[in-house]
Structure 1
């Protein structure tokens, strides 16, 4: 059909622009605690992420996959390679990782390779092997292949401390549209803001995504010490030295031999 006037063409274009767009699935999520406080007796905590899927316009029989990525405050970290020389272990090389998550956890409801294709996993950074970890290599800044020895050592060391982890069975669907997962936080968890990125997939296609947040803060004496060290570094250093001298002098009196 040919439009016989510019006015008719404008009317058709306006109808297209104002027509309601088809809504994709929407995620509604909540974390059990959006503010974790760290005190002197803090030995770790476990948060729970609950969520629901609104299936507006989606077929009733559609099945879903979920990938939850929790990332802590970014930091510059260094991984060193040691060799044994003359009976002594010495640092022979190092690699600096730039602006990488200080805490990172990736969870899903089933194996990552069943959730999405390799290309989509790379694009969406699903799984530790596909997380972007920028390194300084000479004068260049780039990520490297997953088999790079420094990258593998970095992931292994962070995983050994519980700061990096992945679990392809951590997300549980309570019903076809309700889900939950736990977020373990170790005792040495970094202080700062955390982002929880939830990706919803169906038949290997991304159909929904949302982000929520929580924070980890120090309170009490620990917060006072951290604030003093940051805002008054010289005074903090002097007080620390004085406390060390007094403690040493007091210990020498208690344990001295007559």
Structure 2
């Protein structure tokens, strides 16, 4: 019995050592992206390397890499419309709770070739496997990828460039050096973005790390956003005054004598 326990412990330690046989070193080209009034989007570059040590199996084959970029989380709603009496009306809706406002998943080859379906679900690899919690009546749950509300939500975000998946975006420059671009559209949400990097070999996760970058507004837009957040009452008064002044000036310009 003792011998069996020792054997199990040795196997667990060996597996742990093997899992730590590689280390990921990564960075992004810009950790702070500033959004100005004429901002039209840009692309960051994530680059890094795989560091091996003495515990790396000598027969280790080629590596696979999956990069997941998640923007700030928020509650969002997807509505289903129906045509009634010649007009479109909201028929039903589904609320998504604390989901990423931006979500991009990049890999060096199709994810189904990188890991098994079970590993994909457990590690949330690919848009179909990322948890998007919904409020379904009194319950909270993630549903199957082909749920119509989930599919519509992902499609709408993808049309604006805010959700994306690219199975050829990660490029291995050498067997251990890699890079990928992170495209940011013009309407990219403001906030902190997390970047999770997972390294696979022969279908198994062997190393992972993460980094982050921030998107912030600067100039007049930042002043307005800060004022609205910190001094809501004053912001409301100023907005109402500006609306009144605009209406008064328009009445003077376009009035008929």
DSSP 3-state at the match of 1:253 = helix
The answer to whether the aligner puts 1:135 opposite 2:131 as a matched pair is: no
Aligned to 1:86: 85
Paired residue secondary structure (2:193): strand
Quick check: 1:45 aligned with 2:42?
yes
Deviation >4 Å, runs of 4+: none
Cα distance change of structure 1 residues 157 and 167 upon mapping to structure 2, 3 Å threshold = same
- Provide the residue aligned with 1:29 in structure 2: 26
Q: Deviations over 1:75-134 (max 9, x none)?
A: 101000000111111111110001111100000000111011111000000000000000
For 1:9, the equivalent position in structure 2 comes to none
RMSD: 1.9
Secondary structure (helix, strand or coil) at the match of 1:190 reads: coil
Deviations 1:12-58 (A, max 9, x none): x9xxx9xx956421000000000001111111111000010002132
Counting only pairs closer than 5 Å after superposition, residues 72-83 of structure 1 correspond to structure 2 as: 72-83=71-82
Q: Distance in 2 between matches of 1:176 and 1:257?
A: 76
Distance in 2, matches of 1:199 and 1:148, equals: 27
Output the CA distance in 1 between the equivalents of 2:241 and 2:72.
33
SS of 1:62 mapped into structure 2: coil
How far apart, in 1, do the equivalents of 2:69 and 2:170 lie? 13
Report the Cα distance in structure 2 between the residues aligned to 1:186 and 1:60, rounded to whole angstroms: 42
The number of aligned residues is 243
TM-superposition CA deviations, 1:139-184 (whole Å, max 9, x none):
1111000110000000001101111000000000000000000000
C-alpha separation in 2, matches of 1:139 and 1:240 = 38
Cα shift at 1:194:
0.6
Query: Which stretch shows the higher mean deviation, 122-131 or 233-242?
Result: 233-242
Aligned equivalents of 1:257 and 1:186: distance in 2?
45
TM-score by length of 1: 0.90
Shift of 1:221: 0.9
Partner of 1:194: 193
Q: Which residue of 2 aligns with 1:214?
A: 213
CA distance in 1, matches of 2:174, 2:255: 69
Aligned with 1:235: secondary structure?
helix
Distance 2:193 2:26 in 1: 15
Partner of 2:226: 227
On the 8 A contact 2:60/2:201 being kept in 1, the answer is no
Q: CA deviation at 1:251?
A: 2.2
Q: Distance in 1 between matches of 2:71 and 2:256?
A: 51
